């Protein structure tokens, strides 16, 4: 088993290059609009609550992930991705008419469709990648995808803010529309053979449940997805404490931007080495190590030191993506193609929906208790999560030894 970095081999693959370029292009537009939409609403209304609803509108469709993922299993994925990108380009252009508070309904409607389309895209892309990229390189691919996404989160918000300052919200909307058109073109250039989707059996409810049943019954996927959800729950609570942490350091709220940027650097770095790490450790150990690193970083944030805060942000950025990359790669490798859209969308819901719950819980808890003991408690909870995932590794190994055809957990 090779543990060397296969990024060079991956980047020589035409489909991988096209897809990663598409991730960079669409990620740039999405990250820019994500930041600007809240600023746009704040400028038009002066309301912090309405501005916060922009993020909620983008995240809310994740809760319907299992249902939306069914779409990705009923339509060929390449035409679906092209169509969704072009649809979003047209919808985003409509935002140029948002120039007063009474037009904000259009912005929120577009953001909801944007979020729902993103769920469908993630499911379709996950399934399409398994046909377009060598299975042995999926870990490297998902790591580089993480690097591309996080890299755009570092660059695009600043660029979006500058564009907004000069041209306002409509300028950013037009930029986003252009990125969707370019993404559609890049998807059209992919060379991939897709079988015709099998005829659906049963109603939509039964079809939707198939993805959840597959994840729950699978001895290797279930613990990874549950560990990912638990990790996102606890780090969501921690995320809501960031301004209390910044205040404890004696800085203005703007300092949170520095910590987020450092965290992004950590995520970019781990994406580059995740492929070899997955091959060396396997998904369960790789995910558990990342959760443990996150646990230490979360607990250590209770120390009122700038240097410690920066190091913890870097460690958190490196640790948190590990279980996410491990879970996604395992789902791609161990799910039949006809079911992969629903399984991916369901896994994403189970992993990312707890983050919303954690953010809400953290927002309430920070008003009731001192954030420092809370950070230590969250670190302990994350360590327990890592321990449970490690225990599942032994059970997964036993299952793999009884099922030779599935014995490639890395």
Cβ atoms of 333 and 135 closer than 8 Å: yes
For 31-64, write each residue's pLDDT tens digit: 788 778 877 888 888 876 677 677 778 878 888 8
Q: Which of 225, 222, 238, 257 is nearest to 355 (CA)?
A: 238
Query: Tokens standing for 355?
Result: 């983050």
pLDDT in tens, 109-131: 999 998 888 888 888 888 888 87
Report the C-alpha gap between 330 and 87 in whole angstroms: 31
What secondary structure letter does DSSP report for 250?
T
Of 345, 323, 357, nearest to 118 by C-alpha is: 345
In whole angstroms, give the CA distance from residue 230 to residue 132.
Answer: 31
Vertex 299: Cα angle to 297 and 302 (nearest 5): 110
CA dihedral angle for residue 291, residue 297, residue 301, residue 304, rounded to 10 degrees: 170
Mean pLDDT of the chain: 84
- Nearest-angstrom CA–CA distance, 339 and 5: 30
DSSP per-residue string spanning 52-74: HHHHHHHHGGGGGHHHHHHHHHH
Which tokens belong to 390?
Answer: 């490690």
Decide if pLDDT at 399 tops 70: no
Q: Is the pLDDT of residue 232 over 90?
A: yes
Residue carrying structure tokens 């970095």:
5
User: How confident is the model at residue 41, as a pLDDT?
Assistant: 84
Q: What is the pLDDT of residues 11-31, one digit of tens each?
A: 778 888 888 888 888 888 887
Tokens of 345: 């969308």
Measured CA to CA, the distance from residue 122 to residue 336 in angstroms comes to 17
> Which pLDDT belongs to residue 404?
44
Residue whose C-alpha is closest to residue 277's, from 345, 350, 327, 326: 326
Cβ-in-10-Å burial (0-12, 13-18, 19+) of 172 comes to buried
Least confident of 182-186, 342-346, 401-405: 401-405
Query: What is residue 6's predicted lDDT score, i.e. its pLDDT?
Result: 61
90: left (phi over 0), alpha (psi -120 to 50) or beta: alpha
pLDDT at 358 over 70: yes
Confidence check: pLDDT of 406 > 50: no
CA 233 to CA 210: how far, in whole Å?
A: 25
What structural domains does the chain harbor? 1-191 (1.20.1250.20), 203-398 (1.20.1250.20)
Q: Return d(Cα 152, Cα 160) in angstroms, integer.
A: 11
Which of 3-7, 253-257, 334-338 has the weakest average pLDDT? 3-7
99 three-state secondary structure: coil
The pLDDT of residue 119 is 87
The pLDDT tens digits for 281-305 are 999 999 999 999 999 999 999 999 9
DSSP 8-class letter at 369: S
How far apart (Å, rounded) are the C-alpha atoms in residues 27 and 150? Answer: 9
In the structure, what pLDDT confidence band is assigned to residue 407 with cuts at 50, 70 and 90?
very low
């Amino acid at each position: 088993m090779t543990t060397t970095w296969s990024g060079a081999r991956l980047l020589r693959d035409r489909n991988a290059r096209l897809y990663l370029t598409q991730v960079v292009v669409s990620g740039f537009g999405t990250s820019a609009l994500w930041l600007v939409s809240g600023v746009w609403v704040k400028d038009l209304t002066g309301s912090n609550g309405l501005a916060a609803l922009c993020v909620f509108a983008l995240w809310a469709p994740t809760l319907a992930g299992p249902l939306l993922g069914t779409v990705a299993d009923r339509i060929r994925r390449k035409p679906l991705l092209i169509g969704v990108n072009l649809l979003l380009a047209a919808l985003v252009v409509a935002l140029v008419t948002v120039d007063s508070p009474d037009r904000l309904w259009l912005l929120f409607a577009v953001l909801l469709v944007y979020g729902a389309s993103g769920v469908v895209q993630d499911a379709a892309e996950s399934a399409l990648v398994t046909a377009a990229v060598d299975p042995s390189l999926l870990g490297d691919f998902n790591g580089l995808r993480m690097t591309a996404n996080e890299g755009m989160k570092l660059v695009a918000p600043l660029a979006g803010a500058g564009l907004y300052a000069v041209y306002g919200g409509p300028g950013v909307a037009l930029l986003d529309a252009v990125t969707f058109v370019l993404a559609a073109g890049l998807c059209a250039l992919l060379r991939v053979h897709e079988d015709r989707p099998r005829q659906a059996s049963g109603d939509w409810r039964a079809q939707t449940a198939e993805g959840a049943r597959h994840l729950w019954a699978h001895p290797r996927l279930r613990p990874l997805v549950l560990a990912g959800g638990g990790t996102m729950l606890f780090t969501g609570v921690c995320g809501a404490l960031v301004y209390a942490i910044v205040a404890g350091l004696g800085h203005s709220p703007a300092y949170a931007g520095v910590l987020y940027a450092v965290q992004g650097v950590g995520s970019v770095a781990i994406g580059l080495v995740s492929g070899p790490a997955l091959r060396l450790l396997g998904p369960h150990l790789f995910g558990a190590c990342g959760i443990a690193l996150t646990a230490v970083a979360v607990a250590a944030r209770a120390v009122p030191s700038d240097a410690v805060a920066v190091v913890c942000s870097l460690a958190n950025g490196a640790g948190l993506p590990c279980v996410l990359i491990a879970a996604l790669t395992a789902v791609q490798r161990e799910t039949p193609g006809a079911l992969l859209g629903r399984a991916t969308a369901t896994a994403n819901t189970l992993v990312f929906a707890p983050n919303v719950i954690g953010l809400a819980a953290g927002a309430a808890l920070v008003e009731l208790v001192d954030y420092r003991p809370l950070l230590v408690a969250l670190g302990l909870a994350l360590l327990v999560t890592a321990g449970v995932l490690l225990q599942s590794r032994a059970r997964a190994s036993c299952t793999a030894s009884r099922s030779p055809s599935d014995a490639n957990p890395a």
